Amino acid sequence: MTLDELVSQLKLAYGASLRSVVLYGSAVAGEHIAKKSDYNVLVVVDAMTVENLRKAAAVATAWSGDGNPPPMTFTTAEWKSSSDIFPMEYADILERHRVLFGEVPFEGISVAKDELRLQVEHEAMGKLLQLRQGVMAAGGDAKNQLALLEDSLSTLMVIFRGVARLNGETAPQDYEALATSVAARAGFAADPFVRVVRHVRGAEKLRREEAVPILEAYLAGMERLVAYLDSLAR
């Protein structure tokens, strides 16, 4: 399903209640990687009835079948009042978006720095715990270890962009530049993260025997990042 087809189907599902359809994330920023990246879409509607949701379910199923997450759907009132709940997501959408249909839904919306810091630290700690679990699950299988690194990249870049914004910076769109900038700010080695970026892009593939040392440096970097974020609260 293409983006144009998605918009057409959402119009049928929500009718006059549909206010905005917005593409956001890597597809807008130029870091979309074929067969690895997905398309993130925000949908804003006036109201959602059971009938609307029933129709939208078929759209979401087809969209997800192409490897994309279901559209993130808010009512207009919810969207205007939820930046304190999802500050990382809102900050990312505000910075990297393209309106596919309808109104530009960002007037009056802002993200508070203290709320952003709390969520960035929460997400970074959660990702560190997830990586540790992934290492245990992968065991000594180098293929699974490399897959763990590949699968972690997108979420880590979201976290890194949040770190950049906490420091009043515009997050670099290029993933290598972003990893290098955040590593310098937080005090950890950028190289393992840059290597994974290049691996996922296909520019410089990691060898299986490199998986363990890269994972070790990856985990050390995330531990340092969590400590750095915690220090910002003091």
Q: What is the mean pLDDT of residues 61-86?
A: 93
**Cβ pair 19, 102 in contact under 8 A:** yes
pLDDT band at residue 96 using 50, 70 and 90 as cut-offs: confident
**Largest interatomic CA distance in the chain:** 56
CB atoms closer than 10 angstroms to residue 225: 26
User: What's the confidence (pLDDT) of residue 27?
Assistant: 82
User: What's the confidence (pLDDT) of residue 20?
Assistant: 97
Q: Which CATH architecture has domain 3-102?
A: 2-Layer Sandwich (3.30)
Report pLDDT digits (tens) over 178-212.
Answer: 999 999 999 999 999 999 999 999 989 999 999 99
Report pLDDT digits (tens) over 124-172.
Answer: 999 999 999 999 999 989 999 999 999 999 899 999 999 999 988 888 8
Domain ranges of the chain: 3-102, 113-231
Which position has the higher pLDDT, 17 or 233?
17
Report pLDDT digits (tens) over 32-63.
Answer: 565 556 889 999 999 988 988 888 999 999 99
